[in-house]
Amino acid sequence: MCQAMLDQLAQNTGWFNERGVRVAAVTMGKPYEAKMFCAQRSPDVVCLSNPDQSAYQAYRIGKINAQDVINPGSWSAWVKVMGRGFKPGSPGSQDAQQLGATFIIGTTGKVLLAHYNKYMGDHPEMKKLQAVAEELGKRNVVRIA
């Protein structure tokens, strides 16, 4: 599931970079694991390691509960991801209950968009992320002019 989000980011990193927006991914892997994982899937994404999950906690990202397991959205996302050829693997030593989230943060340090994944396989719509980036691009043009 995580692979699917990272691939989605990787496919759009060039688009964001062209608009002056950096793309970064925080993982629960150790640095060498993060390096290998990102090098294989998304060499242009800034890849970070946070095995103690302190950043996940600081950003108030929740964990899967029992209800999530029976959430139809979760199963629907699972089927979609499988249909695209992904094979969810073992979490290994990483926290299998940890959910993900995506934020767009401006240069003032303020959150411009926050998406908390509601269940396994939930991801933000790329169009929503791109709409914020487009808006930022327009502001930058105005600032330069």
Partner 1 sequence: MSSKLKAGDFAPNLKVVNADGETIELSSLWADKPVVLSFLRHFG
Angle subtended at Cα 45 by Cα 20 and Cα 88, rounded to the nearest 5 degrees: 140
- Binds partner 1 (CB under 8 A): choice among 7, 78, 113, 118: 113
- Answer for the pair 82, 76: CB distance below 8 angstroms, yes or no: no
Interaction residues for partner 1, span 69-108 (CB under 8 A): 88-92, 94-96, 98-107
Return the number of the residue (85 or 109) whose C-beta is nearest partner 1.
109
Q: Which residue has the tokens 């209800």?
A: 67
CB of 103 to partner 1, least distance (A): 5
Q: Tokens 């970079």 belong to which residue?
A: 17
- 114 φ/ψ angles, rounded to the nearest 5 degrees: -130, 125
Identify the residue among 62, 75, 78, 118 touching partner 1 (CB under 8 A): 62
Do residues 58 and 110 touch, judged by C-beta distance below 8 A? no
The conformation of residue 109, written as its DSSP 8-state character, comes to S
Task: Please tell me whether residue 60 binds partner 1 under the rule CB under 8 A.
Answer: yes
Which positions from 9 to 48 touch partner 1 by CB under 8 A, shown as an x/- string?
Answer: x------x---xxxxxxxxxx-xxxxx-xxx------xxx
Q: How far is the CB of 34 from partner 1 (least distance, A)?
A: 5
Q: Which of 67, 85, 110, 142 binds partner 1 (CB under 8 A)?
A: 110
Cβ distance to partner 1 smaller for residue 5 or 71? 5
Instruction: Give least dist CB 121 to partner 1, A.
Output: 9
Query: Binding to partner 1 by residue 143, rule CB under 8 A?
Result: no
* Three-state secondary structure call for residue 126: helix
Sign of the torsion angle spanned by Cα atoms 41, 28, 48, 99: positive
